[in-house]
Chain A
Amino acid sequence: MSDELIQRVLKVIATSKRIPLETVSIDGDFQQMGIDSMDAVEILFALENEFDISIPDDEVRNVRNIRQMCEGVEKLVAAKSAGTQAAQ
């Protein structure tokens, strides 16, 4: 995973949750951070806008921490750029 992608995800979480960026790390766990289901759907919405991706419900069901979230975003971003190249 690129540092750039991780930093963008962390920033989206900090902005959505309105908490300082330095309190959000890749090792963060949603439950420990007090991220509930409504916070989570807001973060997903913001990630979809940030990365111009669509995150299916099935992809998020088992995501419990920020590392899993970054991995999921990386996968969808890669799929999107593969799709764009195929279209070209």
Chain B
Amino acid sequence: MRRVAITGIGAISALGRNTAEFAEALREGRSGIGPIESADVSQLRFQNGAEVKGYSHAPYFDDRRADFLDRFAQFAVIAAREAVADAAIQWTPELCETAAIITGSCVGGQSTEDTGFHEVYKLGHSRVHPLTIPKTMANAGASHISIEFGITGPSFTISTACSSAGHAIGQAYWMVRTGITELALTGGSEAPFSFGILKAWEAMRVVSPDTCRPFSKGRRGMILGEGAAMLVLEPLDAALARGARIHAEIVGFGMSADACHITQPSAEGAARAMRAALRDGGLQPEQIGYINAHGTATPANDPTEVAAIRAVFGAHAERLAVSSTKSMHGHALGAAAALECLATILALRDGVLPPTANFNEPDPECDLDVIPNQAREAKVEYALSNSFAFGGLNAVLALRSRG
């Protein structure tokens, strides 16, 4: 089996329009959470989100092209462009024919659907815009990336709620590792700020009225986020041969299903996914130095995740650094695992572990080293990125620094 290198990275999120801005915000522990601007929140119980502030398609797409892309698909293409440029890929006809695109998205272009359905249900219009279907489909991100670069290899989208991008990246990793493809573009994108979706989240009573404080006693729930992160994966040997810059390696991928409740998390399910990732990478728990936690800041997730980490790592849990970067980029649903995998890559590459921002009071039920508020310089060789979705479908990636 081949080792797999990450040779390109790209991102757009509440923390900025590119990877450099994303990295800077994480180092500074600066949160991108603020009053929601892209939807009317006057009839909502919560007011804050982690949006791409002041976003307009204009610098990225001409008006006619933008007509075909929901905001979530625009984010996917923007992040993919940065990742491809970063990797300095030399496209050949053969590479275009075999490269893979695997994206994650939870809600797809539901903002577009929301607008169209509002017109027929509420405004009494007799027709919906003909681009509603192609803009809404969750695979639109992958499709537009393929069109953008002329990639004609295996391309698809995975939708597993908050684990979507984790499953996508893991699948892409396995496809490169086993020789199914020589290059994969993978990650996730999401843009869930439409009134209908916000109302649905409000009804679940899991969104915080102020901010996202993972692992804090005063946590009051999650904060929705948006954006995209994309990675270029290649066989390590091929990447070295062409002199590519290698940000980090992916070394393991584990999945599990809780098989117990549609929304309540299970420590056992989470632990099984972490163990599976370690096993897949041939790693011992003691080799892990950092975990980018799922860390949603809901009352239920955080203590469950801490219990799962303790179950997997035993005494080593005391020596682990664990943080939730959702405290800064929000919970970007189907893009969450991609943004968090990117945060993990940057932590390994730069030797700076991102903090859990907005931390205000320790919770005895979450008593791990959660890197409160201040980033920490530390050379870590191996790290995990955890994703535990509604529906109980879990995905964990194991990464390795280039040393």
What are the residues of chain A within 8 A of B154 when measuring CB–CB? none
The answer for the CA separation of A71 and B236 in the assembled complex, in Å, is 64
Q: How far is the CA of A44 from the CA of B300 in the complex (A)?
A: 18
Q: Mark A48-85, 1 if CB is under 8 A from B, else 0.
A: 00000000110010000000000000000000000000
A44 partner residues in chain B, CB cutoff 8 A: 205
Q: Choose from A36, A41, A56 the contact partner of B203 (Cβ within 8 Å).
A: A41
* B209 on the A face (CB < 8 A): yes
Contacts of B264 in A (CB 8 A): 36-38
Min CB gap A7→B, angstroms:
25
Is the C-beta of A30 less than 8 angstroms from some C-beta in chain B?
A: no
CA distance A60 to B204 in the complex (A): 13
Chain A-chain B contacts (Cβ-Cβ < 8 Å), number: 20
In the complex, what distance in Å separates the CA atom of A57 from the CA atom of B209? Answer: 9
Nearest-neighbour CB distance to chain A for B211, whole angstroms, equals 15
C-alpha spacing A43/B209, complex, angstroms? 21
What residues on B are CB-neighbors of A45 within 8 Å?
Answer: 203
Instruction: Give the chain B neighbours of A41 by CB distance below 8 A.
Output: 203-205
CA distance A60 to B45 in the complex (A): 14
Q: In the complex, what distance in Å separates the CA atom of A38 from the CA atom of B205? A: 9
Number of interface residues of A (CB under 8 A): 9
Q: Which residues of B contact A60 (CB under 8 A)?
A: 205
Q: Which of A36, A37, A41, A44 has the most CB of B within 10 A?
A: A37
Chain A nearest CB from B223 CB (Å) reads 14
Question: Which residues of A sit under 8 angstroms from B204, Cβ to Cβ?
Answer: 41
With a cutoff of 8 Å between Cβ atoms, the chain A residues found around residue B203 in the complex are 41, 45
Is A56 a contact partner of B45 (Cβ separation < 8 A)? yes
Chain A, range 1-60, C-beta contacts under 8 Å to B: 36-38, 41, 44-45, 56-57, 60
- Inter-chain contact A38/B263, CB cutoff 8 Å: yes
Please, how many angstroms separate the alpha-carbon atoms of A38 and B390 in the complex?
A: 12
Q: Does B262 contact A (CB under 8 A)?
A: yes
Chain A positions within 8 Å of B209 at CB level: 57
Residue of A nearest to B207 (CB): A57
Residue of A nearest to B300 (CB): A37
Shortest C-beta distance, B316 to chain A (Å), equals 31
**Which chain A residues lie closer than 8 Å to B262 at the CB level?**
38
CB of B205 within 8 A of CB of A36, answer: no
In the complex, chain B residues 44-62 whose Cβ is within 8 Å of any chain A Cβ: 45
Q: B45, A38: Cβ atoms under 8 Å?
A: no
B65 within 8 A of partner (CB): no
B216 to chain A, nearest CB (A): 16
Shortest distance between the CB of B217 and any CB in chain A (Å)? 14
Residue of B nearest to A42 (CB): B203
Tell me which residues across on chain B come within 8 A of A56, comparing CB atoms: 45
Nearest chain A CB to B74 CB, angstrom units:
33
Q: Which residue of B lies closest to A37 (CB)?
A: B264
- Chain B residues lying within 8 Å of A38, measured Cβ to Cβ, are 261-264
Once bound together, how far apart are the Cα atoms of A38 and B203, in whole Å? 10
A37→B261 CA distance, assembly (Å): 10
* Chain B residue with the shortest CB-CB distance to A36: B264
Q: Which residues of A are in contact with B by a Cβ distance under 8 Å?
A: 36-38, 41, 44-45, 56-57, 60
Supply 18 A–B pairs (Cβ within 8 Å), ascending by A. Answer: A36-B261, A36-B264, A37-B263, A37-B300, A38-B261, A38-B262, A38-B263, A38-B264, A41-B203, A41-B205, A44-B205, A45-B203, A56-B45, A57-B45, A57-B205, A57-B209, A57-B220, A60-B205
Known A38-B261, A38-B262, A38-B263; 12 more pairs at CB < 8 Å: A36-B261, A37-B300, A41-B203, A41-B204, A41-B205, A44-B205, A45-B203, A56-B45, A57-B205, A57-B209, A57-B220, A60-B205
